[in-house]
Chains A and B, each alone.
Chain A
Amino acid sequence: MNTGGIKERATSYDIPGGEPPLIRLENIGMIYKIGDISYEALKGINLIVENGEFVSIMGASGSGKSTIMNILGCLDRPTAGKYFLEGKDVSNLTSDELAEIRNKKIGFVFQGFNLIQRLSIVENVELPLYYAGMYSKEATEMAMEALKLVDLAGTENKFPNQISGGEQQRVAIARAVVNNAPIIMADEPTGNLDSVRGADVMRFFKKINEERGATIILVSHDKNIADYGKRLITVKDGIIISSAVIESQSMV
Chain B
Amino acid sequence: MPKRVKFAFFLDLKSAYKTLLRNKIRSLLTILGIIIGVGSVIATVSIGQGASEAIQSTINSMGSNMLIILPGSSSLGGVRTGFGILPTLTLNDAYAIRKLPAVKTDSGNLGMAQQVIWRGNNWSTFIMGASSTFPEIRDWPVAKGTFFTHQQVVSAANVAVIGNTAATELFGLINPIGHIILIHNVPFTVIGILSVKGFNAFGQDQDDTVVIPITTMQEKIAGTTWVHAIAVSAKSKEDTVIAQSEITALLRQRHHIPLHKPNDFFVRNLTEIAQAANSSANTFTILLASIAAVSLLVGGIGIMNIMLVSVTERTKEIGIRLAVGAKKKDILKQFLIESSVLSLFGGILGIAAGIGISNSISAFSPLKTIVTTEPIIISLVFSLCVGIFFGFYPAFKASRMNPVEALRYE
Contact of B326 among A70, A99, A135 (CB under 8 A): A99
Tell me, yes or no, whether A242 is within 8 Å of chain B by CB: no
A116 touches B322 (CB 8 A): no
B323 touches A108 (CB 8 A): yes
Name the CB-closest residue of A to B326. A131
CB of B409 to closest CB in A, whole Å: 11
Tell me, yes or no, whether A65 is within 8 Å of chain B by CB: no
Tell me, yes or no, whether A61 is within 8 Å of chain B by CB: no
- Report how far A251 CA is from B324 CA in the complex, Å: 34
B323 touches A100 (CB 8 A): no
Within 8 A of B (CB), among A88-125: 95-96, 99-100, 102-104, 108, 110, 114-116, 118
Contacts of B18 in A (CB 8 A): 118
Tell me, yes or no, whether A136 is within 8 Å of chain B by CB: yes
Contacts of B366 in A (CB 8 A): none
B328 touches A132 (CB 8 A): no
A131 touches B330 (CB 8 A): yes
CB of A146 to closest CB in B, whole Å: 13
Tell me, yes or no, whether A6 is within 8 Å of chain B by CB: no
Tell me, yes or no, whether B80 is within 8 Å of chain A by CB: no
- CB 8 Å contact bits of A127-150 with B (1 = contact, 0 = none): 110111101100000000000000
CB of A35 to closest CB in B, whole Å: 16
A102 touches B325 (CB 8 A): yes
CB of A43 to closest CB in B, whole Å: 19
Tell me, yes or no, whether B87 is within 8 Å of chain A by CB: no
Contacts of A175 in B (CB 8 A): 324
Contacts of A130 in B (CB 8 A): 11
- Report how far A108 CA is from B324 CA in the complex, Å: 8
Contacts of B407 in A (CB 8 A): 75, 110, 114
Tell me, yes or no, whether A200 is within 8 Å of chain B by CB: no
B325 touches A132 (CB 8 A): yes
Contacts of B403 in A (CB 8 A): 75-76
CB of B168 to closest CB in A, whole Å: 72
- Report how far A151 CA is from B18 CA in the complex, Å: 29
Q: With A75-B404, A76-B404, A114-B407 known to touch, is A100 a contact of B19 (CB < 8 Å)?
A: no
Tell me, yes or no, whether B256 is within 8 Å of chain A by CB: no
A99 touches B22 (CB 8 A): no
Contacts of B323 in A (CB 8 A): 73, 75, 102, 108, 114
- Report how far A127 CA is from B317 CA in the complex, Å: 11
Contacts of A95 in B (CB 8 A): 328
Name the CB-closest residue of B to A95. B328
Tell me, yes or no, whether B8 is within 8 Å of chain A by CB: yes
- Report how far A104 CA is from B178 CA in the complex, Å: 101
Within 8 A of A (CB), among B302-352: 316-317, 319-330
A133 touches B327 (CB 8 A): no
CB of B2 to closest CB in A, whole Å: 13
B320 touches A96 (CB 8 A): no
A99 touches B327 (CB 8 A): yes
Within 8 A of A (CB), among B1-56: 4, 7-8, 11, 18-19, 22
CB of B337 to closest CB in A, whole Å: 14
Contacts of B326 in A (CB 8 A): 99, 131
CB of A49 to closest CB in B, whole Å: 20
A100 touches B320 (CB 8 A): no
CB of A141 to closest CB in B, whole Å: 16
Task: Output the residue of A70, A104, A114, A136 with the most chain B CB within 10 A.
Answer: A114
Name the CB-closest residue of A to B5. A133
Contacts of B19 in A (CB 8 A): 118
A131 touches B320 (CB 8 A): no
Name the CB-closest residue of B to A107. B324
CB of B22 to closest CB in A, whole Å: 6
- Report how far A75 CA is from B323 CA in the complex, Å: 7
CB of B3 to closest CB in A, whole Å: 10
Q: With A70-B404, A75-B403, A135-B11 known to touch, is A116 a contact of B328 (CB < 8 Å)?
A: no
Task: Output the residue of A99, A133, A136 with the most chain B CB within 10 A.
Answer: A99
Contacts of A73 in B (CB 8 A): 323
A-B residue pairs, 7 tightest by C-beta: A103-B325, A131-B325, A128-B324, A96-B327, A75-B403, A99-B327, A102-B325
A-B contacts, 5 listed (Cβ < 8 Å): A102-B325, A114-B323, A118-B22, A132-B325, A133-B8
A-B contact sample (19 more), CB < 8 A, given A114-B316, A114-B319, A131-B321: A70-B404, A73-B323, A75-B407, A76-B402, A96-B328, A100-B325, A102-B323, A102-B324, A103-B325, A104-B325, A110-B407, A118-B22, A128-B324, A131-B325, A131-B327, A132-B325, A135-B11, A136-B7, A175-B324
